[in-house]
Every structure is written in structure tokens, then in C-alpha cells.
A and B are shown apart, each in its own frame.
Chain A
């Protein structure tokens, strides 16, 4: 008669037990900010379609300190999300080979940052008409 009795540990509160998991959950949580931000933006579009008054009211609401606070938080969340995304992108895309050698992960991540910098500079130039 076997006395074997494998013990299975509970998973309660698992994500608080390791800093890596906390960072992972934070990354996932950034989607909430991005989602809410998208809804706010959608509301702006809708109010624009409804006419000038509606749009001005929406703009007014955006100047509210709570709104500004939220937008700053959403910006931080988006930046964090981007950083984590750039870090994992080499794992998601098919393996790249150049001249028979695999392109190292760090090269892919660095290229993404380079592209992002170029795009943002372009965007700033457009907006501020430098």
C-alpha cells in the first residue's frame, strides 16, 4: 500500500510573492489606463461630432486636475508598457537571421527604441512646426 501523498501548494496571493510577478501584474494593469484613456478619447470624438458646445464641455472637463492627474498616470503607464513591450518583442517575433547568424535580442530592442525616437521627433516637428 503506497504511502505516497503528493502535496500541492496553494496559489493564493501568488503575484505578491515574487517581484518579477509584481512587475508582470503592473504591466498587465497598464492596460486599464490605456483602456480608460481610449474611452475618454472616444468620448471626445463623439462630443466633437455632437457640435461645438459639447466639444468645449469635453475640453473643459479635460482641464480638471483629476483629469490631468489621470492623463499623467496614463502616460506613465503607457511608457512602462512600451518599455516592457520593447523588451519582450524579440521573443514574439520570428527569429531573424542575418548572414547565417541570429540577430541578438538586444539589437532588436535597440532598433525599436531608435525607431521610436525618430518617430517622436518627427511628430514633435509636425505638431510644433519646427
Chain B
């Protein structure tokens, strides 16, 4: 097997991976950087982000507001020092993207425009129409071509990390076109492989979002943190789960039940003003909106559709001109996929899994407990999102922490010597044999699609918008069973050129491990917080016992070991999480208290 030595290996070529690569290249042009992506980088799922990216911009906004929105939005499970760093650096990252050519939407005076987003007190979401992720990704991808020290390994699939003596030494990759294995030996490794939403049935994610990097770090002893927190986005396409951006509501869209009633006012989000009011009604946070849908469904107030129950996302009052200017992709999706013209008819929508708040445990510098291993973006749990992410914080996150990861990894790579022992190559050879085992062994009887479907259905049943101990236990048992059956997988394709079935099988292994960490983390959290809501006697938030991060530790064939770590609180004590008029009242009380204590 060929060994290629580099200073920094980055696994994942989406927004975070590209930003990290550029940061590393700018930190030290003499270092070599391998950017490994299982698809061409511009196919990465950052491409599908629509609404925008948050950064304090307007004169009447400030970092404290963004901080409080994020921490309360995350139900106080955020690492507050990380949030402080994030809000302070988001704007310069957005400006940096602008300098690199990102076509941000503009105001008439030529300055960048911002829009309202859910859970955000003041409009601060930078946007490029409704294709923000697409434009950020292509801007970063094309800009990365400027740096000769970045060597891309496009369509190279990472099948394992190489770890020795408590340090990560690189990754083994498979060239998809040929099946050729290469050991990319690196002094530092950054994982930026995105989320794992595909472990659920109905989701907004692309087929590649299979938690690869999470599983790889996890298998090497790095804990996955807060994996029970999985975000349901409230406005998705029934059947496929495709996303209708929150910007639809930021621009003034309504959510209506079967009676044409803006039902969110019944869930503590009112009053129902006719025009968008920040942090109220349709501009509440995603967890609350998805939960409200669930309740409406229980009450029989939702609408029957060919793919289950839906509510209506009504954009008609925005007018054709504004829709085509601000939400062109939404119009295209609704018209081409559903045959609905949003200017003349409401769009049927339902919640679908969108984002994994948890991920690879990382400190504020993106370093994992394993020396030489860093992570950034959705795969990482740097501690920004807590129990629920606010829309438009993740695009900003991948820039802010992608950059941190790149410069930290660069620093680490400079500080350590290269490893010369042949044991790494030996390990890499073992990894190769194990990966090849999937296509060389015979006698398997399990069909991959069946296992995948059962996993996704079970995760939806057990780890959906509302959860119960019984349902989660059933999912724990199911995932345990599927991991067992996975060993008996049958693969039709035994070739080496573009064998996608083989790679899908490896991905399924990643997915099952990640799914297991999610459901075991969930069943052990005996409270309700953010996106983790229980109906079996644990309906309240329990700060005494669970103001803590969950850590899931890989445990081989057995179930993961679960333990906990504290949450760093700097300036926001856990308080009442309220939106709408109630939220404004709660905020006023908080301010009064703070003023009184000063």
C-alpha cells in the first residue's frame, strides 16, 4: 500500500473541511495538506443549506444578544465560553467569505443585507438568496484552488484512522474509481465529515450524510457528546423530507393547520402579529415548532396528505416578486417536486430530521481528547448548539471553527515529530484487509437496503420529536440486533472499480454505530430539554441532574458506555426558556434581576 506523508490530513471536503484547509494553508504555506473527500467537495452537503448564516451586523444588535439567543435556544446546554468566541468571530468570517467572492444578497446601498431567523432577537442572518450554503461551499471550494499546499483527494473514501500511543497519525483511504488503498500519514488530522441525519427515515440530508467521521473517532475511543439531540426541522417536504428553509418564515410565511389557523399561538409562541416578529410565532426555534406540529397532529388538526400528516406553509401574501427574489429555490422545489406554486397555493410541509447537535467531543480549540485529532462542523460537538441549534448558526459555525481547526492542527503539526515506525503501515494493512473482508467473504444473507430501512424506521419510532422509555428501549434492542445482522451482510458487487455497494456497506456500519450512540444517550437522559422531549414522566427540564453533557463511549460489540460531563456557564444561568410575549416578559425579568444584583 502506498503511504503519502503530509502535515495535516482533513477528512471531509464540505464547508468546515475547506475552511480548515484554507486556514491551515494560510497559517503555514510550507505545510502539506491533504483534503480527503468521498465526493467532489462541491457535492458536500453544505451545498443544501438554504437560509443563511448568522453574525451580529446591525448597529442596534450586539454580541450579547446573539450569545443569549444561542444559549437559551440551546436550553442552556451550550459551552458558554465557546458561544462567546463564536459570536465574536462570526462577522469577520462572513466578511472573509465576502472578500473571497460569496455573492451575498445586498441592500441598495451596496452593503450586505440580513434577514430574520428563528430564535434570533434581531435580524442578523446573512444570505445569498435561498442558496446560502451552495454559495458558501462553492466560494470556499474555488478559493481553495488558490493554495498550492492543499492537495485534494477527491472521491477518496476514508475507511479508518490510524492511531498509535494515544495519537492520531493519519487515515486510510480508498480511491473510489479504482478501489486502491492509500495510507495518508499525517501529523494532525481534522475530521469534518458533517452530520448523520441519514440514520433517520425522513430527513433533509443528502445520501452522503452518514456520520462517517463521528463513527471513526468514536471507534478509536473519542466520546460522542450529546448525541441524543437531533434536530427536526419543522418545514420539510412530505415523503422526501427535502427542506423548505426557515427563511420562508423569516420573510413572513405563516404556518397553518387544517382550519387555516396559525396554531403556533396555542403553544406559547404568540401573539400572532401579521408581520414577522422576532422570536415569536413562526420565528420561534425549530424544536418548539416541530413539537407544536406533533401536538396538532395528536389533536387531529393537521391535514391528510399522500405521505402522511402535513400543515401548510403559506407564502402567498409575500407576493410573486418577493418570492422569486428572496426564495427562488423554494419556488423551484415547490413547483417541480410538488406542483405547487407558492405564490398561489400553500406548501404542504411536515417536520423531518435535519441536524445532529451532538458529535465528536471537542474543546473550544476543536481538539478531541485524542492527541492530533481535531473536528469541525456538524460532526463536531464543540459545544455551540446545546440541546437545540438555532437556524443560521451552523453555516457560521463551520467557518469560525473550521478556521480554528485549521490553525490549531497546523500548530500541532509543527510541534510534533513525524512517526517513523513501521507499525503504522502494518496497522494500515490490517485496515485494508478488514475493509476488503466485506467484499471477499461469502455466505452473507442480509440485504443492505433492508437493514438500512429497519434502522431508519426504528430511529424515527424511538428518537423522534417526542420520546418514551419504552419506544427508546425498542430502538436500542433493534439497533443492537441490526449490528449483529450487519456481520452477515450480503454484497452483490465484488469489483474494485466504482464499487458503490461496498462503500455503502462500510457507511452502514458507521451509521449503526452512530445510531446506537444516539439512542443510548437518549434513553439515559431522564429529562426533557431542547430537542430531547420525553412523555414518560420526564417532561420537565432537570438542571439538578442533567445540566450535563452526555458522553457516549464506544464499547465494541456491546452497547456504548454512557457518562456525563459538566457544562461551562460563564454569564447566563439557566432560566426559563420562553418565546413570543412570554419570552419578552422573561427577558425583562432577567434584565431586572441582573440590574438588581449589580
Contact = CB atoms under 8 A, between A and B. Distances in A.
Direct contact of A and B (CB under 8 A): yes
Nearest to A100: B108
Nearest to A6: B177
Interface string B141-183: 0000000000000000000000000000000000001111000
Contacts of B497: 2-5
A116 to B, nearest CB: 31
A3 B498 CA distance: 10
Contacts of A2: 177-178, 180, 497
Contacts of B180: 2
A45 to B, nearest CB: 54
A3 B494 CA distance: 13
Contacts of B496: 3
B107 to A, nearest CB: 12
A87 B385 CA distance: 52
B434 interface: no
Interface string A1-20: 01111000000000000000
A3 B175 CA distance: 12
A52 to B, nearest CB: 66
A115 B442 CA distance: 74
B495 interface: yes
Interface in B168-216: 177-180
Contacts, number: 13
A3 B497 CA distance: 7
Interface string A86-101: 0000000000000000
A2 B175 CA distance: 10
Interface in A35-90: none
Contacts of B179: 3
Interface string B496-512: 11000000000000000
Contacts of A5: 497
Nearest to B177: A4
Nearest to B180: A2
Interface in B365-388: none
Interface string B471-496: 00000000000000000000000011
Contacts of A4: 177-178, 497
B153 to A, nearest CB: 15
Contacts of B495: 3
A111 to B, nearest CB: 23
A35 B148 CA distance: 52
Nearest to A5: B497
A2 B177 CA distance: 9
A5 B496 CA distance: 12
A3 B177 CA distance: 9
Interface in B32-58: none
B134 to A, nearest CB: 21
Interface string B213-242: 000000000000000000000000000000
Nearest to B498: A4
A2 B498 CA distance: 11
A99 to B, nearest CB: 12
A4 B177 CA distance: 7
Nearest to B495: A3
A5 B497 CA distance: 9
Nearest to B178: A2
A124 B483 CA distance: 84
Contacts of A3: 178-179, 495-497
A122 B497 CA distance: 67
Nearest to B175: A2
A4 B497 CA distance: 6
Interface of B: 177-180, 495-497
Given A2-B180, A5-B497, 5 more contacts: A2-B177, A3-B496, A3-B497, A4-B177, A4-B497
13 contacts: A2-B177, A2-B178, A2-B180, A2-B497, A3-B178, A3-B179, A3-B495, A3-B496, A3-B497, A4-B177, A4-B178, A4-B497, A5-B497
